Chain A
Amino acid sequence: MDFSPVQLNAQQQSVRDEIVAVLDDLVDDELLDRMHRNGDVSDNEFVRKLAKHRLSLPRWPVERGGRALDETLVRVLENELDRRRAPRDINSNIWGAAEQHGSPELHDEVRPKLLRGEARLCLGYTESESGSDIAGAKLRAVKDGDDWVLNGSKIFTTGAEAADYVFLLTRTDPDAPKHRGLTMFLAPLKTPGVEIQAIRTFGGERTNAVYFTDVRIADRYRLGAVNDGWTVLRGPLDKEHDFGQKSHSLKEPFGMWVIRRSPLEHAFEDALKWAKETVLEDGSRPIDDPVVRTRLGRIATDIEFALCTDGPLGRVAAADVMTAASAELVDLIGPRALLPKGAPGAIERGDIEYAHRFAQGNATYMGTVEVFRQMIAQHVLGLPRPHMGRAK
């Protein structure tokens, strides 16, 4: 057990100071407005600028042009990005598996671009037929000479409109058992036959449907062995699901759950500010009312509970708490909490209004919470596999 503040050594402190200075410089209202307008979680221009300071792909070794930041400093970077509501640099989450399983030719092509912040990666798992059951992917990849020909579609391919490569799950053997007929690619998106259609969510994000019609890509874009795509996918997927993560001590990789909870923390911060700074008709402030204090105390408690919940358990806790608490914050504050960022009378930067919408997607994307409940039932509690309509 240890919950003490992390003491940075002199060298870490100087990197921290540099991170703070760089982000103070790079993150401004113009950038945040652009993200808001585009409904994008990342921003190519921002990542390019970040890369100039070698802060994109921060873990990369120095000899490959990276910064080799230790986990403490990666966490510092994440915190400082989060504090500023800055765009996410999602490349590093995806490139790990691509690098591990990709050919030398693929490394040569993609790595320098990533290093300069000139390429963006996105995830292509989900299909409209199969949803969270990603191993049910049907998008076909057929070998034709030295190339592969892709036909089919992906959905919820967030960031595809701004991306250069998609970490793509395909079906290469339709006759093999579900998990054994899959092959992964890091497929170039700017290729004839790829069509990207925008899908808007009420969470404010833009996502996409991506259609592949006779898309021809070279074999060097393949990751891992043919029909062994599930192995390639498992690494990043487990990381995304926080499996194998015993605790959130600094020794552990940064969990995706932190990203999931931050919109609610921003919203709560705004609600507290509202409660302390709003002057009501009788001269009192909302926080002077014990009902308000009790409700805020309850929400703060639930946030702390979610924060303390580990791994896949924490995935569900964070989603559930965000759903309930963001709605409660709207109830507490009333119609002003419904006003979007920038509107007259809006609460701060509209983070409460946003969190209430974001929470609904948060409970679904990267695997719906029901998928996690099933994993917990089977793998934590040891309950039998579910019956899929075969009950007598």
Chain B
Amino acid sequence: MDRFELRHNDFSLDEEQEAISSAARALLRNESPPRVVRAAEPMGYDAHLWTQLRDFGAVSIGVPARSGGAGGSFIDLMLVAEQVGAFTAPVPMISQAVVARLLVETGQPELLAGVLSGERPIALAPDSLDRPQLVPDAALVRDIIGLDRNGLMLLSLSEAPAHAPNQGNTPLAWVEPKGDRRLLVDGERAAQLHAQALTEWRLLMAAALVGLTDSALWSGVEFAKTRETMGVSIGSLQGVSFQLADVAIAVGGARNLVRKAAWMHEHMRGVRPELAAMAFATANRVATEGCYTAVHVQGGLGFTVEADVSLFFLRAKGWGALMGDPAREYEHVGDVLAARGRDDLTCGHTRQPIAVGARE
């Protein structure tokens, strides 16, 4: 395929997308200020906020109306996830949105209804259910979906696993490989669906990390505008302002990359399968570097727990590290490039669908 192929390259939001994004932002600005985020620590869960966000549609917009959802798109979820990140909202939005979509695919309406209503949340295990592992949001649930050698399973526990307090203040918990198991999907399709759910998880997390880094950036910018040293604003010093400019560049590019990956996932799935890995690895890098800068320009004050920027810094890694090493994402991109035909030497403009690999 042809990297000189002519494609639209439009990152802008349409009216409806703009409305969803700004409504989510308005809701979270009111309901998830730093005070609420801190109050939810160390678990990283606010039941009241979660109810409000679910009512807003943070899970249901990703589910078709015929399956009991609000019938939005994956792109809408991506826009909400960005705002969840921007306000470091202590809610399991990403895992629940992903699991709900997975249950649409597996065809378990009763489980889906429990996730949509919030009455029976379900976590998603990234690794094989045959060994103990840390599962995101598992401290909030009694049911976990994951893979074992039989297929995609629902693991049901008698009680929610104990919270494993962690740097990112998320409801992480150790899940042991014991409890009742129910087969949801078997065969090759099980691994494919699991891989697709992880891809969606990474894409939504990428969006959240972009939102988070953007907020960290503006916290750094506001500090740099008001703080003075030796009679001048530190924001007028290029040693400071250039670092912040680099974060602005990183956030701008990462946001667009995430949008493009989400759009392709929604509308032309399989055409650019490496974009999701690119988006996650980039957002992860940008969050790590950007939040460091946002903390560092605030000097010693940025290092204190009172500084709101600390909320962003600790979650940049605390959220980003939940689904594995970004270098694996780069390797996956390399795998996709390696699998492409000899006449398809491209760094990514192609629209030729490639064989769907193990990842998705």
Contacts and interface: CB of A to CB of B under 8 A. Distances in A.
Interface of A: 1-6, 8, 72, 75-76, 79-80, 82-83, 246-250, 265, 268-269, 272-273, 275-277, 287-288, 290, 292-310, 313-314, 316-317, 370, 373-374, 376-377, 380-387, 391-392
Nearest to A4: B8
18 contacts: A3-B264, A82-B4, A249-B12, A250-B10, A275-B338, A288-B338, A293-B334, A293-B337, A294-B327, A297-B329, A297-B334, A298-B333, A302-B282, A307-B348, A308-B260, A377-B242, A382-B221, A386-B236
A382 B218 CA distance: 10
Contacts of A272: 337, 345-347
A158 B271 CA distance: 41
A304 B6 contact: no
Contact of A75 (B6, B217, B345, B347): B6
Given A4-B268, A305-B278, A376-B245, A300 B10 contact: no
Question: In the complex, which of the residues B6, B12, B75, B330 has the most CB atoms of chain A within 10 Å of its own CB atom?
Answer: B6
A310 B259 CA distance: 13
A247 B248 contact: no
B176 interface: no
Contacts of B224: 383
Interface string B321-360: 0000001011111111110001001111001000000000
Contact of B7 (A3, A277, A308): A3
Interface stretch (B60-68, B114-122, B137-145, B250-258): B250-258
Given A287-B334, A288-B338, A385-B236, 16 more contacts: A1-B17, A72-B6, A250-B9, A265-B3, A265-B347, A272-B346, A276-B338, A287-B337, A300-B334, A305-B278, A308-B256, A308-B260, A370-B242, A380-B248, A381-B217, A384-B233
A3 B253 contact: no
Contacts of B281: 298, 301
Given A5-B6, A297-B331, A387-B237, A381 B245 contact: yes
B232 interface: yes
Given A4-B7, A269-B3, A294 B334 contact: yes
Contacts of B158: none
Interface of B: 3-14, 17, 75, 217, 221, 224-225, 230-233, 235-238, 241-242, 244-246, 248-249, 252-254, 256-257, 259-260, 263-264, 267-268, 274-275, 277-278, 281-282, 327, 329-338, 342, 345-348, 351
B347 A387 contact: no
